[in-house]
Amino acid sequence: MPSGPSMQLYRRLAYGDLASLSLLDTRQYRTPQVDGPAFQPNGPEAYDPSRTLTGPAQERWLLDGLASSSSRWNVVAQQVYLAAIDLAPGPGQAFNTDKWDGYPEARGRITRFLRDAKPRNPVVLSGDVHAAMVNDVTVDNAPEGEVVATELLGSSISSAKGNNAQFEAALPENPQVRYYNGRQRGYLSCTVTPDTWTADLWFVDDVRLADSPVRRGASYVVRDGLLGAVPA
């Protein structure tokens, strides 16, 4: 069996001409995180253009696939949130160096590509934050910058959100976060048609009960040809 860097996990799936899914591996080829705490301002080391989450080959594979796609919806499914999120309430900045925030130049190459090449209807599916989120992905690292894609995250199934208070306090700094819920556990479901992508965020009343009710807490829609999700 292949192992280590010879075990290629990233791949692409197609649902006819409706959707193309690029599934990334942001763990195996990544540059180590910058030194210091998990939440910190980005210093000069973070902006080294050689720092990468995907490795050069996978990044080129992703961008080439998006550039040549004829699908209605172009989906990038990967492990950590892509949107730039400042987790320091008030003055100053703090970014989670384990996410794309710790690799701003690599993220910038992708967001600038989305702005310039304009693949049709880019949608990013992410996780590993233990919260339900709907984000505008903006160019480079500017929360108020040009929107180039919509990012959707389902909550964790059972694990609590340890730094929920920090996220909630920082929401005023992050207008690109259109929806956030780190208090409830649940999942994301998506319904995709040629005209609309509908994201439903579901939450369980009590994860300790096998027969606990599950409720739809929010729904957002992305429409064909329009960037950004809006409440359904």
pLDDT at res. 221: 98
Q: Quick check: 143 and 84 in contact, CB under 8 A?
A: yes
Question: Tens digit of pLDDT for each residue in 20-46?
Answer: 999 999 999 999 999 999 999 999 999
90: pLDDT strictly greater than 80: yes
Give me the residue label for tokens 């300790």. Answer: 208
Q: Is 222 within the bounds of a domain?
A: no
Rounded percentage of the chain residues whose pLDDT exceeds 70: 100
**Residue 140 pLDDT grade (very low, low, confident, very high; cuts 50, 70, 90):** confident
Q: Is 229 within the bounds of a domain?
A: no
Handedness of CA 133, 137, 140, 146 (dihedral sign): negative
Q: Is 193 within the bounds of a domain?
A: no
222, HSE (Cβ side, Cα atoms, 13 Å): 32
Q: Is 65 within the bounds of a domain?
A: yes
Tell me, what CATH number does 165's domain have?
Answer: 3.60.21.70
pLDDT at res. 83: 97
Question: Tens digit of pLDDT for each residue in 45-85?
Answer: 999 999 999 999 999 999 999 999 999 999 999 999 999 99
Side chain identity at 144, as an amino acid letter? E
Return the structure tokens found at 216.
Answer: 């739809």
**Helix locations, 85-182, DSSP H:** 104-117, 164-170
Q: Quick check: 124 and 82 in contact, CB under 8 A?
A: yes
Side chain identity at 66, as an amino acid letter? L
- What is the rounded average pLDDT for all residues in the chain? 95
Domain with 14, as residue range(s), is 8-186
Q: Is 208 within the bounds of a domain?
A: no
pLDDT-wise least confident of 15-24, 89-98, 118-127: 89-98
Kindly report the three-state secondary structure assignment for every residue of 175-201.
Answer: CCEEEEECCCCEEEEEEECCCEEEEEE
129: pLDDT strictly greater than 80: yes
Q: Is 51 within the bounds of a domain?
A: yes
Task: For residue 81, give the nearest of 136, 6, 160, 121 by alpha carbon.
Answer: 136
Rounded percentage of the chain residues whose pLDDT exceeds 90: 92
Count of domains forming the chain: 1
**Residue 142 pLDDT grade (very low, low, confident, very high; cuts 50, 70, 90):** confident
Q: Is 221 within the bounds of a domain?
A: no
Q: Is 230 within the bounds of a domain?
A: no
pTM of the complete model: 0.95
